[in-house]
Amino acid sequence: MGLTRTEFFTEKQNKTASIMKALGHPARIAIIDFLLKTDKCICGDIVEELPLAQPTISQHLKELKNVGLIKGNIEGNAICYCINKKTFIEFQKYLTTVFDKLEKQENNCC
Amino acid sequence: MGLTRTEFFTEKQNKTASIMKALGHPARIAIIDFLLKTDKCICGDIVEELPLAQPTISQHLKELKNVGLIKGNIEGNAICYCINKKTFIEFQKYLTTVFDKLEKQENNCC
DNA sequence: TTATTATATTGCAATATTACGATAAAGATT
DNA sequence: AATCTTTATCGTAATATTGCAATATAATAA
């Protein structure tokens, strides 16, 4: 059918999956890498940095913004994008529980 | 065109994205959650646990296995799946660098 | 007001994903 | 051997994603 059955899963599972999904493309990983590297947040420089057309980048930025991983700030006629720490910290919480559980796992059959 | 331009990105970016992508579906997050919870690894119980048809689960397990997030072990006519710690630890390394950089970021414009 | 610059949106073609019924494969049980 | 159990694969319909040219939008500069 091609439609993810989100209603079958918990809100947390859906939220986590949507963040992972947003990060599930090398261009979007590259955008995050770039925003982390530049320290101050950069706008259309991303378009110059990445070897993709401007509309494509714009689309990727939109997806990252939709799940709250980045924020956009209007500065004149340009837009300044940057990491949204809040979402990352929330994401980190989930990951911490995963890695904690993993550490305690012993009876791993494989 | 519908084809991800992996050749434009680094191996690490592509690898990270592929792991994120594999985790970018609530059913696959639920599978990981379940494998973490059960401690000893479970096989076809996953099919009973999740409200999806057996072929669908099988497909999701395959995707998780393809990126190395889980391992499968034949036990009689059943198969025992479990977390592949190695990949998770590798994944954690990337995430640690991200969160470290994030912590040092100060000139965040937004 | 008319460019110019920067970003977003639209529309579309190519491809990928999701889900599942039907069926295959392979070991276990009778 | 015949059957049951468990999991994988095939085929396919519905939907989503990726990428970009063309165009729209909106602020700035001339």
- Contact A95/B98, CB-based, under 8 Å? no
> What would the mean pLDDT of B99-104 be, rounded to a whole number?
93
Token pair recorded at residue A17: 């999956």
The pLDDT value recorded for residue A36 is 94
> Does residue A43 approach strand C to less than 7 Å at its CB?
yes
Residues in chain B: 110
Task: Decide if B30 and A13 are in contact by the 8 Å CB cutoff.
Answer: yes
Q: How far apart are CA A93 and CA A56, in angstroms?
A: 31
SS3 content of chain B, % helix, strand, coil (to 5): 60, 10, 30
pLDDT at site A59: 97
From chain A, the residues in CB contact with B82 under 8 A are 108-110
**Burial of residue A32, with CB atoms counted within 10 A of its CB: 0-12 exposed, 13-18 middle, 19 or more buried:** buried
Whether residue B96 has pLDDT greater than 90: yes
Distance from CA of A14 to the nearest CA of B (A): 5
- Give the domains, in start order, of chain B with CATH numbers: 10-104 (1.10.10.10)
Q: What is the average pLDDT across B61-82? A: 94
Q: How far apart are CA A64 and CA A84, in angstroms?
A: 10
Minimal-distance CA residue of chain A relative to B13: A26
User: Is the per-residue pLDDT at A50 higher than 70?
Assistant: yes
Residue A46 has pLDDT above 80, yes or no: yes
Contact A20 B24 (CB under 8 A): yes
pLDDT at residue B86 is higher than 80 = yes
pLDDT at A71: 93
Distance linking the first and last C-alpha atoms of chain B: 33
Out of A13, A39, A51, closest to residue B29 by CB: A13
Question: Could you say which of A9, A41, A83 has the minimum Cβ distance to residue B30?
Answer: A9
Proximity of residue B77 CB to strand C below 7 A: yes
Task: Report the pLDDT value the prediction gives residue B55, as an integer from 0 to 100.
Answer: 97
Q: Which of A30, A55, A56 minimizes the C-alpha distance to A42?
A: A30
Residue ranges of the alpha helices (H) in chain A?
Answer: 11-22, 26-37, 45-49, 54-66, 85-104
Share of chain B above pLDDT 90, in %: 78
B9-46 tens-digit pLDDT: 999 999 999 999 999 999 999 999 999 998 667 778 99
